[in-house]
Amino acid sequence: QTKVGKTSLIMSLVSEEFPDVVPYKVEEITIPADVTPERVPTHIVDYSGSDTQDHVICIVYSVNNKKVPLILVGNKSDLVEHSCMDTILPIMNKYIEIETCVECSAKSLKNISELFYYAQKAVLHPTGPLYCLDQKE
Ligand code: GTP
């Protein structure tokens, strides 16, 4: 989605500071293994919704193979007083591919490192089934 704060989240993670001025996209970066909680190098690729205006985004997966774990990230939590988890939980229950969800704020630096930790964990130790349950032999 556009303008949700993707670039700001990456910049807040890297500089531990909310950027007043945010470029439309940041360069690809690799966080070295020794500073990540799971001790694996983490490559972060930004993308700008502005690149894809009037286009369609296709998420392609192989139905008989490993599913890509998804994380729902609710950014800008500084703008609301209450959590939106009540709305999110039914969605999580419906889609087993969703590993976890997290509310965070690039601005108040809330849950930023946690978000990237959950992303690493979702890849390294996924809890969902890796193969389609009704896969034919
Ligand atoms: P695109 O590149 O257009 O897809 O946007 P993006 O998802 O990378 O969002 P970006 O980081 O450019 O942020 C969009 C706007 O939201 C900017 O004005 C940010 O300052 C603001 N913003 C980002 N994160 C937060 C946040 O946690 N809280 C608040 N209040 N504003 C935020």
Q: Which ligand 1 atom sits closest to the C-alpha of 1?
A: 4
Distance separating alpha carbons of residues 66 and 110, to the nearest angstrom: 31
Is the alpha carbon torsion for 55, 56, 62, 67 positive or negative?
Answer: positive
- Per residue in 57-97, pLDDT (tens digit) is 677 777 776 677 889 999 999 999 988 888 888 988 898 88
Q: Which atom of ligand 1 is nearest to the CA of 4?
A: 7
Name the pLDDT band for 136 (thresholds 50, 70, 90): very low
How many A from CA of 62 to the centre of ligand 1?
32
- Residue-wise pLDDT for 14-50, tens only, equals 999 999 999 999 999 999 999 888 888 999 999 887 7
Q: Which residues contact 75 (CB under 8 A, 6 or more apart)?
A: 4, 5, 8, 9, 104, 105, 106
103 vs 55, residue with greater confidence: 103
Q: Mean pLDDT over residues 4-9, rounded?
A: 96
Q: In angstroms, what is the span from residue 134 Cα to ligand 1's centroid?
A: 40
18 Cα to the center of ligand 1, angstroms: 10
Evaluate if residue 54 carries a pLDDT over 80.
Answer: no
pTM over 0.90, yes/no: no
Separation of CA 3 and ligand 1 centre (Å) = 5
Cα 35 to middle of ligand 1, angstroms: 25
Ligand 1: lining residues by beta carbon, under 6 Å: 2-8, 22, 24, 48-50, 75-76, 78-79, 105-107
Q: Whole-angstrom distance between the N-terminal and C-terminal Cα of the chain?
A: 37
Q: Output the average pLDDT for the chain.
A: 86
How far is 75 from 8, CA to CA, in rounded Å? 10
- Catalogue the E-assigned strands of the chain: 29-31, 42-44, 70-74, 98-103
